[in-house]
Amino acid sequence: MKNADRAQQNEARWQAVLRRDGAMDGQFVYGVVTTGVYCRPGCASRVPRRENVRFFDSAAEAEAAGLRACKRCTPGADGERDEMAERMRALCRYLEEHADEAVTLEQLGVRAGLSPEHLQRTFKRIVGVSPKQYAEHLRMERFKSSLQQSSGNVTGAIFDAGYGSLSRLYEKVDTRLGMTPMEYRGGGAGVEISYAAEVTPIGLMMVGATDRGLCFVQFGENAEVLLGELRTQYPKALVHAMAEPAPAAFREWMAGLNEYLAGRKPDLRLPVHVRATAFQLMVWNHLQRIPAGQVESYGEVAEAIGQPRAARAVARACASNSVALAIPCHRVIRGTGEMGGYRWGTGRKRALLDLERRG
């Protein structure tokens, strides 16, 4: 095709995108180079900037160019995939309505019309966690809420949340609450946090850690201000400067952060020890699965965790993240392809993405 004809065709396709013309679905797809995603012409996502758009005759051509399918309009996918996603969202709603009950995989399979094994694989692929993990997130969130509001003892909150016994709760505490029930109710009283500050290529960074992982990784201009933020976030914890020599685990975590910021380790994997709601935990777990150097929109993240209308809540979960880099909220941008906000400045957000893409 001649250049003039190609330009005319692309202009017609762009007008179809602006109209969100579903009648053109199947005729072509468009890719957004800033997000690395391609969509159908009728996609309901926010319209991107024209200069960031490329047109392709097929989904296969877009994927050959390194783009991935939009999770909202699923270009190239058949109706079965959309229908399966809706089944999983219905199961999420069912689990939310029955959070105080022991719902089995077999029961969920009957509701979804799938074998337990097929359901397990499909639920985890679409939602990001297993049905059991999703139910535990909900139950732990209910427990934390009950614990904070209750004027009674911890045992009452345990049974209100549907755990049934003290031992069943404590099986989940280390990985879901991060503190024992009494510590949580006391605002972190007795929890020990060590901190250290270091100048990095993108500014001063303060790291706070417990013996189980990172609980604070933030950037700023002043160490005293950062320390104040750490103390505010954990008002009753025992906060002190890292002893010398630092424990081996902390040295290993710091080495990982430094290798990442030096561009030698783009896919950073570090343990975190943070307090989170069930929703925040789902969002943050998903963020950790986004490959280094790639980005998703707030809407795509919401879709991926089975909450397609929760884009704003996803944005709030990203903004409340207190562990930069280890929970990579910098990999989430606006649907238009713009950087969007970042707790530590959009300049740092862009620098981190550039760093990952070079690595």
Tokens of residue 237, six digits: 């914890």
Tokens of residue 5, six digits: 């004809």
Dist. CA 38–CA 83, nearest whole Å = 20
Selection from 37, 36, 45 nearest residue 18 by Cα: 45
Q: What is the pLDDT of residue 84?
A: 74
- Under DSSP, the state recorded for 49 is -
Dist. CA 27–CA 193, nearest whole Å = 57
CATH fold for the domain made of 187-359: Arc Repressor Mutant, subunit A (1.10.10)
- Under DSSP, the state recorded for 25 is B
CA angle 61, 123, 83 (to 5 degrees): 60
Do the domains spanning 78-184 and 187-359 agree at the CATH topology level?
yes
pTM (2 d.p.)? 0.54
55's enclosing H/E stretch is strand 53-56
Tell me the sheet residues that pair with 31: 38, 54
Q: State pLDDT tens for residues 230-239.
A: 988 888 888 9
Selection from 303, 305, 295 nearest residue 329 by Cα: 295
Q: What is the pLDDT of residue 154?
A: 42
Q: What is the pLDDT of residue 77?
A: 59
Active-site residues, by number, are 39, 329
Strand duo 203-210 + 213-220: pairing: antiparallel
Which positions of the chain have pLDDT values less than 50? Answer: 78-80, 150-159, 161-183
Q: What is the pLDDT of residue 153?
A: 47
SS3 content of the chain, % helix, strand, coil (to 5): 50, 15, 35
Q: What is the pLDDT of residue 31?
A: 94
Q: What is 78-184's CATH number?
A: 1.10.10.60
Q: What is the pLDDT of residue 271?
A: 83
Q: Give 168-225 as a DSSP string.
A: HHHHHHHHHTSS-HHHHHTTSTT-EEEEEEEEETTEEEEEEEETTEEEEEEEES-HHH
Q: What are phi and psi of 219, to 5 degrees?
A: -110, 150
Q: Cα dist. 154→115, 116, 181, 234 in Å?
A: 38, 35, 7, 21
Dist. CA 184–CA 177, nearest whole Å = 8
Selection from 192, 208, 199, 194 nearest residue 244 by Cα: 194
Domain ranges of the chain: 3-69, 78-184, 187-359
Choose the CATH number for 3-69 among 3.30.70.100, 3.40.10.10, 3.40.50.2300, 3.20.20.150.
3.40.10.10
Tokens of residue 23, six digits: 């009648």
Dist. CA 209–CA 68, nearest whole Å = 36
238's enclosing H/E stretch is strand 238-241
Q: What is the pLDDT of residue 218?
A: 94
